[in-house]
Structure 1
């Protein structure tokens, strides 16, 4: 195998690399490539941080080690779909297009595949926070990440055994939790004392202060170190012996290496170079409630309502829904109404009509086995991929960057890249 170009092996001129996608994964990859001596150009049709990275809850969800497709998920799917306030949505007008993906999703629930997916998620998630700490320390932005703790809450007292079983399962993976009730729960989150029966407290959990502000910090550091940004859509990848060309609306840009981090928009780019990946755009919704007095000290997740609320510098954010609706459908207003209902049920103070609320919908890149693609093209060794982190893009961005850039630079990867191969499907 030919060792990829890097700044240390190309003489006086550093090798060039284009990062397609200016979300949090692409930004982390761009900075990591700069650290390895590459001359970096970031390319996106939108401004940095304006895609799915803009809308997440800001929570580093390292405890989410189970893939989305499991036997338990499949058994509950119909109930969740038909529940008028449930967390799963499959728009009927898109159902015929999603059926092949759903078949693959169902197949991914076999025990052997679930175990492989869990191992792959554990490897990334265990390394996630240290990777973020290294990334942010390097650019002088450590304050963006804080150890906030996290609460997974239950409103029904008869679900206490469910919380205990979940804690025991997580303990097997060395994930610390504390079962809290009564005075301890009220101490941690006074605003929830009247609505929540019990919770699992994750004392080691971290969050970022605001996802969009984080992206802007990463982009600022990239530019300060000489990185360029081109706001254009990439229409086609054109690999050749000397690198990879990018077909845009204004012509072809050529680079020594190209790394595709385009999230839910990665699939057509890969199709153009002979690779089919079962990537689906999973639409997520959020509400951002501006102002102070919204009541939470840390991110909380509702085990029963299946959504997350997180206090950010920009306000309180409520994030939810798994809606498999592709890239083209407009947001459904009823999804925002359901998020309002669930948020106000846990925090009645949010029913105040004077609070300013912003609505947002974005697209998560989701693969049937819940693992990302972090790999190179099997035939074009200068073409690389890092996308498909589903709900864990923010969580896994920094470690994904370290992994793919280490391989691109010919270095030993920090974790085994085998589970994230592009040709595994």
Structure 2
């Protein structure tokens, strides 16, 4: 089989990239060893996060570093055995999180974040997936008066981003989410983001749109990629596929490919878990809720209420560890007393692909012709999939890109 472009990886980033290339006239074959949307794109909080204009940074305060160092917090946990290997990456992440560098990262990421909702909207409408998406935003809640006051003060620094939000005092929050515990003193309702009740289903719906428009999806192993005289080849279950160009959108598995080709990107993995729960007595959760102190999200999903955890630093292939999930579950049962029994046999474990400078890699590979990268979206793969797919498609087809692609260049790690 021959095509113009092979896209490796059928998560939200790869499927979106394939759709944008297809819309620009490319003949595309999408390849993944699993079904579309079954990896990291499946197990997230379902937020199209227009309001996250400041990247998630490494803590800088000594008090916070000491607190996390004790390894007892619900939002961040580390494996002691993995710490020596992770230490250089964490140090680089800490350096990049200095105020000036964080402000630059926020400015560089803003063009992608600003267009995230509208790029999703176009694909949602084309694929007929409106039933999976709601425009109700999400609510971050506070149980500590000092932290709530600081959060309200911090809103002043976000004024230039034009974000829409409502500050909810205790009574207003209780009116909006009546099932929350009365000990919650207030919250901030972010109105710009959209929520998805089945993130994996959304990705599969986009993949179905790609096939409906004439694209091909094949099962195959990206690690079989090789450069040949006519371009690139990959082995699939239906035989060898040859193409003029190839795009690697492999998320946390990106290193399996790029290291074989001689690249050394500082890609780190932040692991995370989710579990679905029933609710008691027909109780409903109307919005996605983020417990800012607990570092977890409760999100109403098609399967039930999904609890997604924060960050676990451990070897990517290490067995799942329920410590963090149990800590968050205990807090969630206090915050939302109607949280019922678990619905999944075991926790889902996912891996977020993160670069220490808090920017993805989007663009051409420096050492190979017609090899392109689109990975490293950290906590916002679902949010940024369509918009980063558009940017890469514009670069590949010679269009004028909607924003300067330099901040996402692979060459910055040369």
Pick the TM interval, shorter chain: over 0.9
What is the alpha-carbon distance in structure 2 between the residues aligned to residue 73 and residue 230 of structure 1? 48
Q: Is the 8 A contact 1:23 1:215 kept in 2?
A: yes
- The alignment's TM-score, normalised by the length of structure 2, stands at 0.92
- Find the partner of 2:343 among 347, 356, 367: 356
Distance 1:73 1:137, change over 3 A: farther
Structure 1: state its 5+ residue gaps: 1-13
- Find the partner of 2:305 among 296, 299, 316: 316
Structure 2: state its 5+ residue gaps: none
Distance 1:313 1:344, change over 3 A: same
Report what 2:407 is aligned to.
419
Report what 2:321 is aligned to.
332
- Counterparts in 2 of 1:2-401, with a 5 A limit? 16-70=4-58, 72=60, 76-192=64-180, 194-240=182-228, 242-246=230-234, 253-290=241-278, 293-350=282-339, 352-353=340-341, 356-357=343-344, 359-401=347-389
Q: Is the 8 A contact 1:237 1:247 kept in 2?
A: yes
Distance 1:18 1:52, change over 3 A: same
**How far did residue 357 of structure 1 move?**
4.2
Distance 1:291 1:152, change over 3 A: closer
Report what 1:4 is aligned to.
none
What is the alpha-carbon distance in structure 1 between the residues aligned to residue 364 and residue 409 of structure 2? 8
- The alignment's TM-score, normalised by the length of structure 1, stands at 0.90
Q: Is the 8 A contact 2:74 2:324 kept in 1?
A: no
What is the alpha-carbon distance in structure 2 between the residues aligned to residue 291 and residue 232 of structure 1? 40
SS in 2 for 1:41: strand
Distance 1:166 1:191, change over 3 A: farther
Q: Is the 8 A contact 2:3 2:29 kept in 1?
A: no
**How far did residue 18 of structure 1 move?**
1.1
Q: Is the 8 A contact 1:116 1:419 kept in 2?
A: no
What is the alpha-carbon distance in structure 2 between the residues aligned to residue 405 and residue 78 of structure 1? 44
Distance 1:75 1:257, change over 3 A: farther
What is the alpha-carbon distance in structure 1 between the residues aligned to residue 8 and residue 142 of structure 2? 41
SS in 1 for 2:362: strand
SS in 2 for 1:221: helix
What is the alpha-carbon distance in structure 2 between the residues aligned to residue 59 and residue 331 of structure 1? 24
What is the alpha-carbon distance in structure 2 between the residues aligned to residue 49 and residue 342 of structure 1? 29
Distance 1:77 1:231, change over 3 A: farther
What is the alpha-carbon distance in structure 2 between the residues aligned to residue 223 and residue 73 of structure 1? 49
Report what 1:8 is aligned to.
none
**How far did residue 73 of structure 1 move?**
6.5
Q: Is the 8 A contact 1:294 1:316 kept in 2?
A: no
**How far did residue 69 of structure 1 move?**
3.0
SS in 1 for 2:311: strand
Root-mean-square deviation over aligned CA pairs: 2.3
Aligned length: 411
